[in-house]
Structure 1
Amino acid sequence: MIVRILGEGQWDVSEEHLTALNDLDEVVEAAVENGDEVTFSQSLAALLDGVRKHGAVLPDESLVNSDLILPPADATIDEVRALLSDEGLIPG
């Protein structure tokens, strides 16, 4: 699965890591719903770090459609709230 982190690039993340990333996504979503800025910042950072850690970075010049698009590390809680779907940032 190709994951884009806005402002950073794309990573190819194996399906085997999606459950762990979904777990982190749920924490981000709950923090947004509760307006918990501290948990939001920590959980978004952990989600993005998980993508970076478990994914293989794609070269900037590669032209691959992203399956998922995640907000940048400096996104605000309101910006992420606007991006959330019924399934969070990561569907599934």
Structure 2
Amino acid sequence: MIVRIMGEGQVKLDDSHFAELNKLDDELLSEMEKGDEEGFRRTLTALLNAVRTMGTTLPDDALEPSELILPAPEASLEEVREMLTDDGLIPN
């Protein structure tokens, strides 16, 4: 699966990693619902770092269609809230 991190680029990620990413996504959603800005920031950073670490960064000139778009690291809680679906950022 191709994942885009807004403002950074694309990462190719094996589907086997999505169970771990979904745990972080669930945690992020919970922190957002509570308005826990510090927890939100920490978990968003962990989620993006997990994608970067587990995946392979595609070259900047690659034009693959992104199947999943994640917010930029500096995105606000409100900006991320606008990106959410019923499943969070990452579909189950």
How does the TM-score come out when normalised to structure 2? 0.98
1:83 aligns with 2:83: yes
Q: Specify the code of the residue in structure 1 equivalent to 2:13.
A: V
Percent pairwise identity: 49
The structure 1 segments of at least 4 consecutive aligned residues displaced by more than 4 Å after TM superposition are none
Can you list the C-alpha shifts for 1:34-74, whole angstroms capped at 9, x where unaligned? 11001100000000000000000001111100010000000
Distance in 2 of aligned mates of 1:31 and 1:4:
23
1:42 aligns with 2:42: yes
- In structure 2, runs of 5+ residues without a counterpart are none
Question: What is the Cα-based RMSD across aligned positions, in Å?
Answer: 0.5
Distance in 2 of aligned mates of 1:73 and 1:41:
8
Can you list the C-alpha shifts for 1:19-43, whole angstroms capped at 9, x where unaligned? 0011101111111111100110000
- In structure 1, runs of 5+ residues without a counterpart are none
Distance in 1 of aligned mates of 2:83 and 2:31:
14
Distance in 1 of aligned mates of 2:53 and 2:76:
23
Corresponding residue for 1:16?
16
Q: Specify the code of the residue in structure 2 equivalent to 1:34.
A: K
How does the TM-score come out when normalised to structure 1? 0.98
Q: Secondary structure at the residue paired with 1:27?
A: helix
Distance in 1 of aligned mates of 2:78 and 2:47:
17
